[in-house]
Amino acid sequence: MGTKESLPGDDSAPEVHHYYSKFMRECPSGQLSLHEFKKLLDLQGLDPQGDIYIKRVFDIFDLNQDGFIDFLEFIAAINLVIRGKIDQKLKWYFKLYDADGNGCIDKKELLSIFTAIQAINGHTNMSAEEFTNMVFQKIDVNNDGELTLEEFINGVERDKDLMELITKSFDLSNVLKVIQSGRRHSI
């Protein structure tokens, strides 16, 4: 590449060095596989739904789709979680929900991801069906049973309750805490 890649909003070389040290300590090869990602976050032995969700998160962080998360992809993910603006996060959530990558979220995709998240987080005050129906009722403007990126972002930004629910449900700060502390449970 030749040029120095910088992160948006990054003015803290020591912080990047800190993450680099942790990343290399946890992953000496410099390439984090899905298995190592699950191990790092202490998420092995999940039910199939939970596994699907973790694989989706991994695939989205794996920007070049080579089957590994390298350090730049790792930093980009941390940067999104720590410093990302709400519309960047909403685009990320949209990508996470859009399992088939067709540019729209249908009820089946949203239901599947929310069920998977419940399997991992285990705490929500509504069922996956209730959540899915509520989201579509509030933001599927043209009632076609699919949400485009524009409908999703506009709808969530307009509705404070929905925004709070989505950000809490898909909060990645627990993932970040693990990464920051470098904590790894021994088995």
In a domain, 118, yes or no: yes
* DSSP H/E element including 93: helix 86-97
Number of domains in the chain: 1
Does residue 171 carry a pLDDT above 70? no
Considering the entire predicted model, what is its pTM? 0.69
Domain range spanning residue 164?
14-181
In a domain, 177, yes or no: yes
Of these ranges, 3-7, 8-12, 119-123, 142-146, the one predicted with the greatest mean pLDDT is 142-146
For the chain, what is the mean pLDDT?
78
Closest CA to 97 of 153, 29, 25: 153
Q: What's the CATH code of the domain at 58?
A: 1.10.238.10
Does residue 166 carry a pLDDT above 90? no
97-130 per-position pLDDT tens digit = 888 889 999 999 888 888 877 766 665 678 889 9
Closest CA to 144 of 115, 104, 91, 99: 104
Q: What is the pLDDT at residue 105?
A: 93
The rounded distance, in Å, linking the Cα atoms of 102 and 118 is 24
Query: Averaged over 60-73, what is the pLDDT?
Result: 90
In a domain, 1, yes or no: no
